């Protein structure tokens, strides 16, 4: 008779060390969870924890989702033709240079899945977006973490850190959770300095929020640098975080490889339809941009008035040094305000707050002021 030796607890031991040592991603606390925990009135809770768009979604997007509901019994278009065609026209690239993802997070995962493995390494910055070390570690690759400069990426040092076995270099511009930004010239210099065999992943989740004088055209670099991958998302300025849709622009040869490891239907039909419509909701994106710039100023002035220092931000969030951040975070929760602790990013004294509506920003600043005095 076959004796079954494996106890359930032993099963986790069978996963590779590099998987077992992963510290899972810590998402922002959902409103429903805080309501359950503290018995607060749901309508009174302000969530400024996940860099979501406080304006919701645009009118065209909403109409497109409504119209597409009846079709969710069908599988989505696994090639995402309509959305890719619209993106190709918008950015003047070929459709086969686009990879769609279940959120841009999915594109980052696909890159790691296709190009990283034990014996290879990836370069990333201290305080960089958490998905880069996670996706690197999940493939058993080594992360080369380059110390930050003024909380931002030190791109020259990152280029120098590239090793023989380096396959990917991760950049967030602007970076989350620091909000720091590297101007176009620095990125271009890095692209010139890095060996062409290294994929440079330029994650531009917040590019729609960049002030006009900081905007740059990374897509035009794709022709000169076939090792560049530009990653963007519909989760932030387009307001579609819950539907999960993002994309990467890259050389067709790289896209071909990513498509081999992509789930056949990785982007759902509502997400495809909504993103296609959202691309044309220009007025909504413009309003999101304007609301954010104003709100960012409101938060900057507000925290300064409280005697706090913030890292200058180019995104839709502000990261503020509050001292005992874990304690202040809890006090804010009790006042119905959810922000994001960033101790896991080696920023134990900071909290990250997303720019909300003017009213939400006022609520946060009042709650923060009261929490500091507590
Ligand atoms: C929010 C964010 C993303 C986008 O995530 P999605 O999976 O598209 O929702 C990607 N990169 C950074 C740096 C982000 O902050």
Atom 3 (ligand 1): residue with closest C-alpha? Answer: 205
What string of DSSP letters covers 208-240?
Answer: GGS-GGG---STTHHHH-TTEEEEEESSSTT--
Domain ranges for the chain, please list them: 23-52+283-373, 59-280
Strand 142-146 vs strand 121-125: parallel, antiparallel, or unpaired?
Answer: parallel
pTM of the predicted protein model: 0.96
Q: Is the pLDDT of residue 85 over 80?
A: yes
CATH class of the region 59-280: alpha beta
- Report residue 119: phi and psi, to 5°: 95, -5
Give the model confidence (pLDDT) of 170-208 as tens digits.
999 999 999 999 999 999 999 999 999 999 999 999 999
Q: Is the pLDDT of residue 247 over 70?
A: yes
With a pLDDT cut of 70, the percent of the chain lying above it is 98
Q: Is the pLDDT of residue 2 over 90?
A: no
Distance CA 333, CA 61 (A): 32
With a pLDDT cut of 90, the percent of the chain lying above it is 94
Compute the distance from residue 245 Cα to the ligand 1 centre, in Å.
10
Give the model confidence (pLDDT) of 20-44 as tens digits.
999 888 889 999 999 999 988 899 9
Whether 87 is in the pocket of ligand 1, judged by its Cβ within 6 Å, is: no
Are 158 and 190 within 8 A, CB to CB?
Answer: yes
Compute the distance from residue 216 Cα to the ligand 1 centre, in Å.
19
Distance CA 18, CA 259 (A): 25
pLDDT at 95: 98
- Among 106, 182, 203, the mutation site with the greatest number of ligand 1 atoms within 8 A of its Cβ is 203
- Which CATH fold topology does 23-52+283-373 show? 3.90.1150
pLDDT at 3: 58
């Amino acid at each position: 008779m076959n004796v079954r030796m494996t106890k359930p607890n032993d099963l986790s031991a069978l996963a590779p060390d590099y998987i077992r040592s992963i510290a899972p991603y810590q998402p922002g606390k959902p409103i429903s969870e805080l309501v359950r925990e503290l018995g607060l009135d749901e309508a009174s809770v302000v969530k400024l924890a996940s860099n979501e768009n406080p304006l919701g979604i645009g009118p065209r997007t909403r109409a497109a989702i409504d119209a597409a509901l009846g079709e969710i019994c069908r599988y989505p278009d696994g090639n995402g033709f309509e959305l890719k065609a619209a993106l190709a026209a918008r950015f003047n690239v070929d459709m086969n240079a686009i990879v769609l993802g279940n959120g841009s997070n999915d594109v980052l995962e696909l890159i790691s899945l296709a190009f990283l493995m034990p014996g290879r390494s990836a370069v990333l910055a201290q305080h960089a977006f958490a998905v880069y070390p996670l996706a690197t570690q999940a493939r058993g690759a080594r992360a080369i973490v380059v110390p930050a400069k003024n909380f931002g990426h030190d791109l020259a040092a990152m280029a120098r850190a590239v090793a023989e076995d380096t396959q990917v270099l991760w950049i967030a511009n602007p970076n989350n959770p620091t909000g720091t930004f590297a101007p176009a010239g620095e990125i271009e210099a890095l692209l010139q300095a890095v060996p062409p065999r290294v994929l440079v992943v330029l994650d531009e989740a917040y590019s729609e929020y960049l002030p006009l004088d900081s905007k740059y055209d990374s897509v035009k670099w794709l022709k000169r640098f076939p090792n560049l991958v530009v990653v963007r998302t519909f989760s932030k300025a387009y307001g579609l975080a819950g539907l999960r849709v993002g994309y990467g622009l890259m050389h067709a040869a790289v896209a071909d490889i990513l498509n081999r490891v992509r789930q056949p239907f990785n982007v759902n039909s509502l997400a495809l339809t909504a993103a296609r419509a959202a691309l044309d909701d220009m007025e909504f994106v413009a309003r999101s941009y304007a609301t954010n710039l104003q709100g960012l100023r409101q938060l900057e002035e507000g925290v300064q008035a409280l005697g706090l220092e913030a890292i200058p931000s180019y995104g839709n969030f502000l990261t503020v040094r509050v001292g005992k951040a874990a304690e202040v975070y809890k006090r804010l929760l009790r006042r119905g305000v959810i922000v994001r602790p960033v101790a896991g990013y080696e920023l134990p004294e900071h909290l990250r707050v997303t720019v909300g509506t003017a009213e939400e920003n006022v609520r946060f600043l009042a709650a923060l002021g009261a929490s500091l005095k507590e």
